[in-house]
């Protein structure tokens, strides 16, 4: 959930670090050991849609993260953006909102064979939900070394006790996603 915080609010002073370092939490290169970018034209199309949703979040003052879920046959099941402030719900990350919508659309608590596109590496809460939902494939954009839990921190999908791990593709349109996050926090710092 660290992406819900302004990176300048960490214990490391952004003044000593320089602007880019302070806001540079979202790296664009896929992490070693990850699947890396294996995008199809379809993946790019859906990630572009997730980025549009992320931009909508930013417009309403929420941290710009967007998510899309496709059903097993590639049909669109759910779209969502990050919205904990407007919803007064700390769990209203884009992935959680999308998972709830998709499960409702399918009438099934398991999203077996579904693909989740999200613009930022999921946090521990969302990674857990992805596993509980039995999502078949996760495609994410920017890496989140501070709050991510797929390639960073707890690396939940690598834990032997986890009952389900999706296929993971990382780094798709990561530059666009991380730039959106950086400019969001840049603008917010200016307002403070
Ligand atoms: Zn999350």
Six token digits for residue 149: 């839990």
**Cα 170 to ligand 1 centroid, rounded to whole Å:** 16
Q: Is 74 helix (H, G, I), strand (E, B) or coil?
A: coil
User: Regarding beta strands 66-70 and 167-170, do their DSSP bridges make them parallel or antiparallel, or are they unpaired?
Assistant: unpaired
Six token digits for residue 79: 């779209």
Residue 27 pLDDT: 60
Residue 40 pLDDT: 73
**64 vs 3: CA distance, rounded Å:** 10
Q: 79 an active-site residue? A: no
Low-confidence residues in the chain, pLDDT < 50:
1-24, 29-38
Residue 41 pLDDT: 80
Is-contact 86 62, C-beta < 8 A? yes
Residue 133 pLDDT: 98
**125 vs 16: CA distance, rounded Å:** 31
| Whole-structure pTM value | 0.81
Residue 135 pLDDT: 98
Residue 77 pLDDT: 98
Residue 12 pLDDT: 33
Residue 22 pLDDT: 40
**Catalytic annotation, pick one of 95, 104, 158, 179:** 95
**Cα 99 to ligand 1 centroid, rounded to whole Å:** 11
């Amino acid at each position: 959930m660290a992406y819900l915080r302004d990176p300048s609010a960490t214990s490391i002073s952004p003044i000593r670090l320089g602007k880019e370092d302070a806001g540079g939490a979202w790296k664009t290169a896929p992490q070693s050991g990850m699947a890396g970018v294996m995008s199809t034209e379809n993946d790019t199309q859906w990630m572009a849609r997730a980025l549009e949703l992320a931009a909508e979040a930013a417009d309403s003052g929420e941290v710009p993260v967007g998510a899309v879920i496709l059903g097993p046959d590639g049909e669109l099941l759910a779209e969502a953006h990050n919205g904990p402030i407007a919803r007064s719900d700390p769990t209203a990350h884009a992935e959680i909102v999308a998972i709830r919508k998709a499960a409702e659309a399918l009438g099934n608590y398991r999203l077996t064979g579904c693909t989740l596109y999200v613009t930022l590496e999921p946090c521990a809460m969302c990674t857990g939900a992805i596993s509980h939902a039995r999502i078949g494939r996760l495609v994410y954009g920017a890496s989140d070394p501070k709050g991510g839990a797929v390639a960073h921190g707890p690396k939940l999908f690598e834990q032997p006790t986890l009952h389900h791990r999706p296929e993971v593709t990382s780094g798709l349109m990561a530059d666009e996603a991380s730039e959106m996050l950086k400019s969001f926090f840049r603008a917010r710092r200016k307002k403070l």
